[in-house]
Structure 1
Amino acid sequence: MTAQHFLRATRTPSVRPDDVRETVRDRITTYRGRLSDLESVVVLPDTHYPHHPTTGMVTDPTVVAGVVDGLREIGIESITIAIAGGRHVTGTRAARYLGYESLTEELDVEFLVLDEAEQVDITVSVDGRRVPGMMPKPLREYPVVNVPTARYAWETSFAAAVANLGRSCAVAEAPAIELAVAAKATDVPVTLVDAVYTYTGTANATGLLLDGENVVDIDIAMATLFGVDPADEEYLRILSQGTPTEYPVEGVSLADVRAELPLRPKPKPDEPHHLVTEAYKMYTRVSGDAFPPQLLGNQTRK
């Protein structure tokens, strides 16, 4: 991994697709010196579930389009958009629902479902020992432009750069070790965080982009956005080999953005989100169908 510590935060003029796409393209072209010698690049968005992009839970295809525009302007012709599903959906379904299949046709780039890609063995040094694992061959062989979201997560306080890499890496270890392995095993010359919409218990339109060359630096900066002490995240302590060091972010104060966020308690993984429950209540009233009792949780049905 690179030792560079340059971080830049930018706010788009609006959340309209044209404004977002143009701003992303401009940010990517600032890495011309770092990317221009690359022959092939894999672009990796966060596509763990087919949420609507305005929920802040998945990378907006518009942001990915801006990344591809920037890479093309730099002169990179061989570009692949790689899609990884999640625990409850395959990459193929996520790509179809989120619009990535049609986007790759529009942009004339390659399309790859990581669930279906060849897996290769990896072994990296983490916390003073050699840790084996597996990951998709394309993520091991080619440089990755990482395009994560800024959202709450289950295994960690938040999901951003490293978590997006870790979703495609399989390691028979604790989540922190798995995340560290993924970060060390992947060549990521540039990360651009899609925080145009964030998810902090509820969605919010921030118009924020954060980019840099080091995934650990990115996540330490994102901790500021979520009001999290980076030292409380084990994977950041491992990757930093001690206390995580926070480097300055140019352009926008993340602390100021955090003050605007509607920080709500993180939903519990074993309880339905209240919006899901309310949506099903509306559905049952309209359709006359039965209400799924598992969505009630500890509630009394009204």
Structure 2
Amino acid sequence: MSADHGGSHGHVRVAAVDAGDRTGGWLPDVDARMATFESSLSAILEPSITVIENADRIAVVPDVHYPFHPSTGMVTDPALVGALVSHIERRGDAEIDVVGAGTGIDADRTAAYLGYPAVLERFEATFSGIDDETSRTRVVRSVDDRSVPFAVPTDLLERTVVVVPTLRPTESGAVAGGMRTLAALGDETDDPDATAVAAADIVDPALSILDATTAYGGTPHAANAIFAGPTAPTDAVAASLLGRSIDEEPALSLALEDGARIDVERVGPEARTLDVEAIGDRLSGGELPPDGDMHPVVTAAYRLYAAAGRDAVPPQLEGKGDAD
């Protein structure tokens, strides 16, 4: 797969996730899901492993914007984050925090619904929710000849950052991606596209890992793949899989030079059989359901999740809060 727009070059790696035991595309057991990422993570992390090994402090930033069940593809699977933390711990001795921000609901509460504390307690890592009390540093970047401020959580400026978005659209139809996942850590803005570009430039992630294990494009789809590369090129690949060109994505148009070329390299044990184009065919044109009209798959998955975990039904099933 190659998105050829002539100009500068971006390289993204993709690996198939072991789907052998994923009945119906989803494994309820988080340890079993973590095991399926072993070979794929090793393959996509190879070019960046030296940076990760040499880091003293690492922040992993998943998409935890709202407590949708991970089987919907609307949030990053905590099993992928757990497998990533495990991989990092085996390769170095960095201090690791998982950092996230919610939309209309407390991030720590969202993380608890998604199961992050239970996953991270296996390792020497913790979840840190971003909220109004978080210490921030206001940094200004020039984006398209405009001065764009971003109130970045101060701690991120002192860490090597790995952002882990999920493959889904936002309510506006734009790709969620790594840039917008980072922008969600700041304050609301009237110019979300420029802010997303500024946030990615300021935080400067060492790597973006796109969770396409279960992707959302109108309905959940078991794509069973993960992508990795620089943040904007990886977002461009995500947009392409959702049927959107760089020109249709204002944030990407601002972040990438005119004529940017993005190459996708298949890696890992299943590289020869990994059909990236088929993922795009399945997801292309997919959008979120209209406001107040949650897809029945999402509703059913979370009611089952709540029943199994003896938890309350999360707020989106009670008509509370906002999701994007």
Bin for the TM-score computed over the shorter chain:
0.7 to 0.9
Q: Give the letter for the 1:230 counterpart.
A: I
Identity value in percent = 27
Once residues 223 and 239 of structure 2 are traced to their aligned partners in structure 1, the CA distance between those partners, rounded to angstroms, is 16
Counterpart check, 1:26 vs 2:42: yes
Residue deviations 1:126-170 (CA, integer Å, cap 9, x gap): 111322231211223212111110002124522111111111122
- Which residue of 99, 103, 106 corresponds with 1:90? 106
CA shift in 2, pair 1:6/1:101, >3 Å? same
3-state SS, counterpart of residue 211 of structure 1: strand
CA shift in 2, pair 1:11/1:24, >3 Å? closer
1:194-233, aligned counterparts within 5 Å?
194-212=211-229, 214-233=230-249
Q: Which residue of 2 aligns with 1:9?
A: 14
- Which residue of 272, 292, 295 corresponds with 2:293? 272
**1:268: how far off?**
2.5
Counterpart check, 1:184 vs 2:228: no
Once residues 283 and 297 of structure 2 are traced to their aligned partners in structure 1, the CA distance between those partners, rounded to angstroms, is 22
Once residues 224 and 22 of structure 1 are traced to their aligned partners in structure 2, the CA distance between those partners, rounded to angstroms, is 26
CA shift in 2, pair 1:230/1:113, >3 Å? same
Contact 1:24 1:70 in 2 (8 A): no
- How many residue pairs are counted as aligned between the two chains? 276
**58-67 or 19-28, which deviates more:** 19-28
**Which consecutive unaligned segments of at least 5 residues does structure 2 have?**
1-7, 28-32, 267-273, 304-317, 320-324
**Greater than 4 Å deviation, 4+ residue runs:** 262-265, 276-279
Residue deviations 1:247-296 (CA, integer Å, cap 9, x gap): 11011453232123485454223x422529987xx9xxxxxxxxxxx98x
**222-231 or 15-24, which deviates more:** 15-24
CA shift in 2, pair 1:199/1:33, >3 Å? same
**184-193 or 8-17, which deviates more:** 8-17
Contact 1:133 1:171 in 2 (8 A): no
TM-score normalised by L of structure 2: 0.78
Once residues 63 and 142 of structure 2 are traced to their aligned partners in structure 1, the CA distance between those partners, rounded to angstroms, is 26
Counterpart check, 1:114 vs 2:130: yes
**1:246: how far off?**
3.3
CA shift in 2, pair 1:34/1:52, >3 Å? same
Question: RMSD between aligned alpha carbons?
Answer: 2.5
Once residues 111 and 198 of structure 1 are traced to their aligned partners in structure 2, the CA distance between those partners, rounded to angstroms, is 23
**Which consecutive unaligned segments of at least 5 residues does structure 1 have?**
283-293, 296-302
Once residues 80 and 103 of structure 1 are traced to their aligned partners in structure 2, the CA distance between those partners, rounded to angstroms, is 13
**1:217: how far off?**
0.5
**1:173: how far off?**
3.4
Which protein has the larger Cα radius of gyration, Structure 1 or Structure 2? 1
Residue deviations 1:6-48 (CA, integer Å, cap 9, x gap): 3111111214514433135414641222322211100111101
Contact 1:57 1:149 in 2 (8 A): yes
**1:105: how far off?**
1.7
Once residues 33 and 139 of structure 1 are traced to their aligned partners in structure 2, the CA distance between those partners, rounded to angstroms, is 20
Contact 1:29 1:70 in 2 (8 A): no
Q: Give the letter for the 2:17 counterpart.
A: T
Per chain length, whose mean CA-contact separation is higher, i.e. which structure has more relative contact order (CA < 8 Å, sep 6+)? Answer: 2
Q: Which residue of 1 aligns with 2:64?
A: 47
Q: Give the letter for the 1:167 counterpart.
A: A
1:107-256, aligned counterparts within 5 Å?
107-115=123-131, 116-170=133-187, 172-212=189-229, 214-243=230-259, 245-251=260-266, 252-256=274-278
- Which residue of 74, 80, 99 corresponds with 2:115? 99
Once residues 187 and 168 of structure 1 are traced to their aligned partners in structure 2, the CA distance between those partners, rounded to angstroms, is 14
3-state SS, counterpart of residue 152 of structure 1: coil
CA shift in 2, pair 1:274/1:96, >3 Å? closer
Q: Give the letter for the 1:183 counterpart.
A: A
Contact 2:34 2:83 in 1 (8 A): no
Q: Give the letter for the 2:178 counterpart.
A: A
CA shift in 2, pair 1:157/1:208, >3 Å? same
Once residues 141 and 222 of structure 1 are traced to their aligned partners in structure 2, the CA distance between those partners, rounded to angstroms, is 28
